[in-house]
Amino acid sequence: MFAKSVARRALQLQPTLLAKRTKVSLPELDWDFGALEPHISGQINELHYTKHHQTYVNGFNAAVEQFDELKSKLDNDPAVAKQIVAVQQNLKFHGGGYVNHCLFWKNLAPTSQGGGEAPTGALAKQIETQFGSLDNLISLTNAKLAGVQGSGWAFIVKNVENGNQLEVVQTYNQDTVTGPLKPLVAIDSWEHAYYLQYQNQKANYFKAIWNVINWKEAAKRFEAAA
């Protein structure tokens, strides 16, 4: 009887446990906060990760719950549609913030773990073919970053609907890249990513970050994207 009771209790808990598993959470970092110094300070990384990225995690999870709750009411109350549209804006913003930062952390690495080392293999050949050199691609990306008015991102992407060409894409706020644009490198241009260290000299941050870009990760994404 006791075993059956435990089994029934476990089944009753499964939906709750599943709901907890499906919520997004902060990704595990492959390095300590201070590991990217002197290029990005440990204080910036700690605040960026534990405060800013956590805010997008919390906001996205809350928006998903609100969306599900409102969707269940839609059949009986068409006026709920207006609220759903508002929640969708939160889904886009916080969801983009969550996804973009997950990409961002993964494409950074301390110099002791290969950060800043030039890419090899298929990605290196594609860069050489399209841009002539890695430095030229970096210069183009920095120009895109400098062109962000306010807050946003620059992505180096593989366009799988355009002959697998590399492109540098600029987005605003927490907009992300989707569809045929497969992100290889994501660079955060929001002030929270650099201001404590570089203050109003954001161009110096854009130059410095290439010393800790994880091109090995970018090469893996390039070869996996289809």
pLDDT per position as a tens digit, 120-135: 999 999 999 999 999 9
Secondary element (H or E) of residue 208: helix 202-208
Report d(CA 169, CA 52) in Å as an integer: 23
DSSP 210: G
Residue 25 domain flag: no
For residue 215, give the CATH number of its domain: 3.55.40.20
Binding-site residues, in ranges, read 48, 101, 188, 192
pLDDT at residue 9 tops 90: no
Task: Express each pLDDT in 139-191 by its tens digit.
Answer: 999 999 999 989 999 999 999 999 999 999 999 999 999 999 999 999 999 99
Indicate whether 147 belongs to any domain.
yes
Query: Which residue ranges make up the annotated binding site for Mn(2+)?
Result: 48, 101, 188, 192
Do the domain assignments include residue 216?
yes
3-state secondary structure 133-197: CHHHHHHHHHHHHHCCCCCEEEEEEEECCCCCEEEEEEEECCCCCCCCEEEEEEEECCHHHCHHH
Cβ 149 vs Cβ 177: under 8 Å: no
Asked if the structure places residue 23 within a domain, the reply is no
Structural domain span for residue 168 = 111-224
pLDDT tops 60 at residue 87: yes
- pLDDT at position 22 is 67
Query: Residue 100 falls within a domain, yes or no?
Result: no
Number of domains in the chain: 1
